[in-house]
Amino acid sequence: MSNIGSLKTSKGVKALLLGSGELGKEVAIELQRFGVEVVACDKYPDAPAMQIAHRSHVFNMLDGNKLREIVELEKPDHIIPEIEAIATPTLLELEKEGFHITPTANAAWLTMNREGIRRLAHEQLGVKTSNYRFASNYDEFKEAVNEIGIPCVVKPIMSSSGHGQSVIKTSDDIDNSWRIAQEGGRAGAGRVIVEGFVDFDYEITLLTVRAVNGTKFCEPIGHIQINGDYRYSWQPQQMTAEAKAEAQRIAEKVTSALGGYGIFGVEFFVKGNEVIFSEVSPRPHDTGMVTMISQDLSEFALHARAVLGLPIPDIRFYGPSASRAVVVEGNTNVIEFQNLEEVLAEPGTQMRIFGKPEIIDHRRMGVILAIDTTVETAKEKASRAYDKLKVAVLPKE
195 flagged as catalytic: no
229 flagged as catalytic: no
Compute the residue count for the chain: 397
314 flagged as catalytic: no
267 flagged as catalytic: yes
What's the CA gap between 348 and 370, in Å, rounded?
A: 6
Of 128, 134, 90, nearest to 108 by C-alpha is: 90
Which among 287, 291, 298, 321 is annotated as catalytic? 287
Of 153, 227, 156, nearest to 186 by C-alpha is: 156
233 flagged as catalytic: no
Which among 30, 42, 203, 267 is annotated as catalytic? 267
Burial label for 98, CB within 10 Å (0-12, 13-18, 19+), is exposed
Which among 12, 64, 162, 228 is annotated as catalytic? 162
| Alpha-helical regions (H) of 239-374 | 241-258, 291-294, 299-307, 340-343
Which among 114, 283, 324, 364 is annotated as catalytic? 364
Residue 123 DSSP code:
I
Q: Where are the beta strands (DSSP E) in 220-285?
A: 221-226, 229-235, 262-271, 274-281
The DSSP code sequence of 126-153 is ------EEEESSHHHHHHHHHHH-SSEE
The DSSP code sequence of 318-353 is -S-EEEEEEEEEEEES-EEEE-HHHHT-STTEEEEE
364 flagged as catalytic: yes
Helix (H) / strand (E) element for 159: namely none
Which among 90, 111, 160, 177 is annotated as catalytic? 160
279 flagged as catalytic: yes
Which among 26, 42, 252, 286 is annotated as catalytic? 286
Which among 279, 342, 346, 358 is annotated as catalytic? 279
Active site residues: 160, 162, 267, 279, 286-287, 364
